[in-house]
Every structure is written in structure tokens, then in C-alpha cells.
Amino acid sequence: MKDISGIIQKSEYFSSLNAEMMGKILGISRVVEIKKGEILFYQDDAGKNIYMVLSSRIKIFKLSTAGKEFVIKILKPGELFAESLLFKEKFYPATAQAMEHSKVLAIDVEQFEYLLMKDNAIAVEIIKNVTSRLSYLSQRFENLIIGNSVIKMAFFLLDLAYSGGIKEGKSVKITLDMNRETMGNMLNLSRENVERTLRYFKDQNLISLDRNRVTILDIDKLKDIAMKT
């Protein structure tokens, strides 16, 4: 479980937990392997576990009434999902599918809730981290609904920077391991609009582009753009 502990500690939800606390989380968890294309759970399935990606990528998406797939996010190692089960939801709000052969950590939601009730120290740390994350997600959701293409793209690049970016001095390098159509699907933008917005960021010296690699040159300015409504 040593390698798994290292991945968990990189998560924004568990990064402040000490070794003892981490051991308690692992004690109510199990590793699940899923094949490429396999569905981990469907939207509206009864929720039994919260999950964290341990390897490869997991796609979270919803289907419209017309059957169109709307990609919410593509998750990488260290990212938690289905955490809404801890608060109000009893059913999964979206579908999770493995994009490659993947491993995820399944955390039993009932045991997790019991652990939070009996261990105040863990509960306080988790609540602080979750509150911070939910505030960010609320702003992100609002901007995805009413924001223009520039605001949407700024939030999207920041998401990638925080979840898997590599810092090099003042710059952050990220990998766009998806095509422009998928990006547009996630941002509710056309493929052409995605290309145009990336070029705009490049012209403004916010980013540099190299095929599927993006380097964020001014992350503070990108944050300012993302938080505009």
C-alpha cells in the first residue's frame, strides 16, 4: 500500500492527513482494476463507493436526452470522484468509464462516513479540504454555464495545471491528452472555438503550444481571467 499512500497524499482532499490517518482511510478501501472501455458505474446507479484514480485515466460523462455524450472531466491519478455521495447524493450523478486499463481505489462510503463521525481530527481535515474544493467547483460550474470561451478555457487549463502540471520555474507544463473535439465537448464549445481561444492565449503570451503540450507562462493572469464572471 506504500505506493497507493503516495498517490493519495497528492490528492487535494487528503494531502493534509498524517500517516496514521492515511492508514485508517486505506483500511476501508480496496483496489479495483477495470479494463479499457469498461464502465465503473452508470449515472443514477446506487452509490456505494467513492473512488480515486490510481493509474491511467477515467472519463466522467453524462448523456443528454438525445443520447449525446457530454464529458464532464477526464481524471488522472490522485483525483477523487463521486465524492458527492458523502453529502446528499445517494446515486452517482454521472457515468465513469476507463479510457485505458486502469486501477482505482474504492473507498466504502458508509465506512467513510462512520470514520468521519468517530474521528474528529480526520473529519476536520477532510471538511477543510472539501470546502475549499467545492468553492472552486462552484465557481468553475458557473463559469462553464455563463462564461465566454476565454473564461472556460482558462478554468480548463488551470484544472489540468493543478491535477497534473509540472512546474518549471514560473511556468507550468501540462499535457493535453485529448483531441480538440473532446475539449470542446467538455467546455461546450465548437472545435473551431477551442482552436481560436488557444491561439488567443498564445498571442497574449499566456501559453505556448507544442502539439499536445501546453506551457502556462503566466498562471496568475490565467487565474484572474478564470475568476471573472
Percent of the chain with pLDDT over 90: 38
Report the top-level CATH class of 2-137.
mainly beta
153 contacts: CB under 8 Å, gap ≥ 6: 187, 189, 194, 197, 198, 201
The pTM of this model reads 0.69
Among 127, 104, 105, smallest CA distance to 115 is for 127
Confidence of residue 19 (pLDDT cuts 50, 70, 90): confident
- Output the CATH code of domain 147-226: 1.10.10.10
Q: Where are the domains of the chain?
A: 2-137, 147-226
Confidence of residue 134 (pLDDT cuts 50, 70, 90): low
